[in-house]
Chain A
């Protein structure tokens, strides 16, 4: 019964128009198909997990959505607008934020400055006003500074605001990566393995953060190897293997899907899934 409800849900969002529609997208590196004919939808307010074994094309998929790689064929539609072929900065401008797998930060800047630099898109005043340091521009900057602190407090990094990013522990660096991505006020956030390299306590905190971000109205796509966390966090899961989509559905369905178990979960036992 659950299965049917889930399918119905997908069909409804298709007709309404999802936040992100990936349509028959393919990407080749040389002759090798890194992503081949993949389609899936992401509706507003969801956390969608993108899982699959190494080399399944998950990170490539992220690079395609965020404009770092050009799509070879197919379409990507975001908020009703085709974004296929847009450059990364233009995609960011439309409200798609991204946190990288390896902590990608402004390493020699402080935690505060890392997030502050992320406010580039949020200024309304022109660069000229910023150049001449007009009252309005300075006021706006002051507001930005307090927004930075809000983000850092929301993510629990406020205490480390003066610390150089490179001196943060790994777990905090990953959280900071998410903070920087949040600085552009995204509607859709792409998180590439946010839990990798974290000990269970940090992973639990990160899970909480991800849930909080979703509650604040941001839709999330998550690539993650920690299956337990994916099952707990995601509303829906898309499974890729060798660049092809082999399954899509609620966590329970995915866990029971024979093809997925063969291709990916393999010998994983039930306890880990729960």
Chain B
């Protein structure tokens, strides 16, 4: 009974969220703010892909690299192979997943610091490879990437169509991730993160499940990259350096690592809007994000969302009391509250 109540609450929350997202362009008229909202959504997908790997206990520094792989794959498929964006988009996800499979089958074997460093190296190498390759546009990057071809009456002019496209992509990601986390795959991931040794005695193949997470995470980062390539219509290797990956990490940590869905959303929104609104220059942005990360780890390791537990807010206590007879479920899944 309590499960159905939780589900109802979740569905209701998703419904409200859906209406808000659908009506947003009618409220926000400024293209500048729409741009920030679109970038937030793209960043949330990246944050989600980071959290997915974190749910198995792996910390990745390669989210930005796979985002770049997706972006370049999509741009090249459209510009050089002449494919439609609507085919290139899923293909870039597949391509990022395949690269993830190749790299992951080597590096996902050893978790912990080794994994972190190896993914860090990947995010250092990939921009270099792109930069030194003339086929990939070299350091100057790719310019004039065409936007998505129009489907029926929907033409990609102005911010609004892009906004709806990224919202649909984001929602697909969220749905898939929620389904994963509440399936037995998600339970296996959680088991591995909490206690890998015990998970192994329960018959969970650690390497396979870590690899699966790496592949899925790479694919969703690739999709986000593909969207960005055709939205921004220009790419250069400097866009997906290690800084991009560090930023993605901050999205998840800032929001709260224990909230697999809402955490990256809150973190990405803050990290996309605040530097812009503060008019921070590009040069000192890394200084500020670095300071944010250090302060976070020291003072708020649970992220922004842990604040409500710390403050013991009234609504949270109420929710706790109402839900006291149910098993405290996966914290990341309470998208509705």
Residues on A facing B (Cβ under 8 Å): 66, 68, 87-90, 92-93, 97-98, 100, 104-110, 112-113, 116-121, 123, 127, 130-133, 137, 141, 161-162, 180-181, 183-184
Contacts and interface: CB of A to CB of B under 8 A. Distances in A.
A105 B188 contact: no
B180 interface: yes
B123 interface: no
A89 B179 contact: no
5 contacts: A87-B200, A88-B201, A105-B195, A107-B194, A127-B183
Contacts of A93: 203
A120 B204 contact: yes
A116 B198 CA distance: 13
Contact of B201 (A92, A113, A127): A92
B205 interface: yes
A89 B204 contact: yes
Interface in B162-200: 179-180, 182-185, 187-188, 190-191, 194-195, 197-200
Contacts of B182: 133
Interface string B190-232: 1100110111111111100000000000000000000000000
> Is the contact region of chain B dominated by helix, strand, or loop, or is it mixed?
helix
B201 A106 contact: no
A162 B188 CA distance: 20
Contact of A130 (B184, B198, B200): B184
A133 B198 contact: no
Given A107-B194, A184-B201, 11 more contacts: A68-B197, A89-B204, A90-B205, A106-B190, A106-B195, A117-B202, A120-B191, A121-B202, A131-B180, A183-B202, A184-B203
Given A117-B190, A184-B203, A127 B198 contact: no
A89 B200 contact: yes
B99 to A, nearest CB: 23
A124 to B, nearest CB: 11
A92 B183 contact: no
Contacts of A90: 205
Contacts of B201: 66, 88, 92, 97-98, 181, 184
Contact of B194 (A98, A108, A130): A108
A30 B212 CA distance: 35
Contact of B200 (A92, A110, A116, A181): A92
Contact of A116 (B183, B185, B187): B187
B328 interface: yes
A92 B194 CA distance: 19
A180 B202 contact: yes
B22 to A, nearest CB: 25
Contacts of A66: 201
Interface of B: 179-180, 182-185, 187-188, 190-191, 194-195, 197-206, 327-328
A144 B58 CA distance: 28
A120 B189 CA distance: 11
A130 B203 contact: no
Nearest to A98: B201
A120 B188 contact: yes
A183 B182 CA distance: 19
Given A117-B191, A127-B185, A131-B180, A105 B198 contact: yes
A132 B194 contact: no
Nearest to B191: A117
Nearest to B187: A117
A90 B205 CA distance: 8
B330 to A, nearest CB: 9
A119 B203 CA distance: 9
Given A109-B194, A117-B191, A130 B185 contact: yes
Nearest to B195: A106
Contacts of A88: 200-201
A92 B202 contact: yes
Contacts of A68: 197, 200
A184 B183 CA distance: 18
Nearest to A132: B179
Contact of A131 (B185, B197, B328): B185
A88 B179 CA distance: 28
Contacts of B200: 68, 87-89, 92
A58 B153 CA distance: 73
A131 B202 CA distance: 20
Contacts of B328: 110, 162
A106 B179 contact: no
A111 B21 CA distance: 39
Given A132-B179, A133-B183, A162 B202 contact: no
Contacts of A113: 327
